[in-house]
Each structure stands twice: as C-alpha cells, then as structure tokens.
C-alpha cells in the first residue's frame, strides 16, 4: 500500500510539473489595457496564425499562448479603442522560439507600446 501511495504522488507531481512546463515553454502574447477606454477588439496576426483577444476591459490583462511552429515575421496588431482603429507592427518572431513573450501595452492616451 505504501508503494502505491508513493507511485500515485510521483505521477501527480509529474503531471503538475508538465502542466507548468508547457506554459513556461510555449510562446505568448499579452495585451494590457491601461487606457481610459474599453478595447472592444484586439487582433494580433502572426505569420502562421491569428490571435483574437476579443474585448479587454479597463485595467485588464489578457494572454494567449500560440504554437511554436511559426514562420519568421512580425507581430501585427489591430485594436479598436473608442471607435478608432489602431494598427501597427512590433517585435519579430522566428520558428520554435521557446519562452518568447510579447507584451502589448495600451497607455492612457491610447499609445501602444511593445516589449519582448
């Protein structure tokens, strides 16, 4: 019985470690809304995929993880804020970048900043 408990705990710990390792390795895009308005639509285009964040409320953060398999290229974003469409590009991604993090921050005056 004691061996069964040890095996069960070991398997459980391996599953939990695998879960957290997946989110550590997988690249992501995070959008932070520090503006004075709700962002009604956020879309980030990657060379091989498209990330749709939907709407992001005031002072909210949303993160989407994407596939490691990508072509080389830029992150292209489009944001709908207060009825205005803001578009641009920032950052660069390549195939199989582990733990890649892009953070898009919308500031008080609807200025968009990117950091990697």
**Domain-located, residue 55:** yes
Mean pLDDT of the chain, nearest integer: 92
Count of structural domains within the chain: 1
**Domain-located, residue 60:** yes
Instruction: Specify the pLDDT at position 68.
Output: 87
Q: Could you list the residue range(s) of the whole structural domain that residue 108 is in?
A: 27-115
Query: Of 82, 70, 65, nearest to 46 (Cα)?
Result: 70
**Domain-located, residue 7:** no
Q: What is the CATH number of the domain that holds 46?
A: 2.60.40.2890
Q: Is 31 exposed, middle or buried (0-12, 13-18, 19+ CB in 10 A)?
A: buried
**Domain-located, residue 18:** no
pLDDT tens by residue, 38-73: 999 999 999 989 999 999 999 999 999 999 888 999
Instruction: Specify the pLDDT at position 96.
Output: 86
Instruction: Specify the pLDDT at position 115.
Output: 92
Instruction: Specify the pLDDT at position 16.
Output: 96
pLDDT tens by residue, 62-105: 999 999 888 999 999 999 998 899 999 998 998 888 899 999 99
Using the predicted structure, report yes or no on whether residue 1 has a pLDDT greater than 80: no
Helix, strand or coil, per DSSP, at residue 93:
strand
pLDDT band at 109 (very low <50, low <70, confident <90, very high): confident
Structure tokens at 106: 């919308």
- The pTM (predicted TM-score) of the whole model is 0.86
**Domain-located, residue 66:** yes
């Amino acid at each position: 019985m004691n061996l069964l408990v040890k095996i069960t705990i070991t398997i459980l710990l391996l599953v939990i470690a695998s879960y957290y390792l997946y989110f550590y390795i997988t690249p992501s895009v995070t959008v932070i809304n520090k503006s004075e308005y709700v962002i009604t639509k956020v879309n980030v285009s990657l060379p091989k995929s498209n990330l749709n964040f939907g709407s992001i409320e005031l002072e909210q953060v949303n993160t989407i993880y994407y596939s490691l398999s990508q072509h080389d290229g830029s992150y292209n974003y489009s944001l709908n804020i207060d009825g205005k469409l803001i578009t641009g590009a920032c950052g660069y991604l390549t195939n199989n970048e582990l733990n890649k993090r892009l953070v898009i921050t919308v500031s008080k005056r609807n200025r968009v900043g990117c950091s990697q």
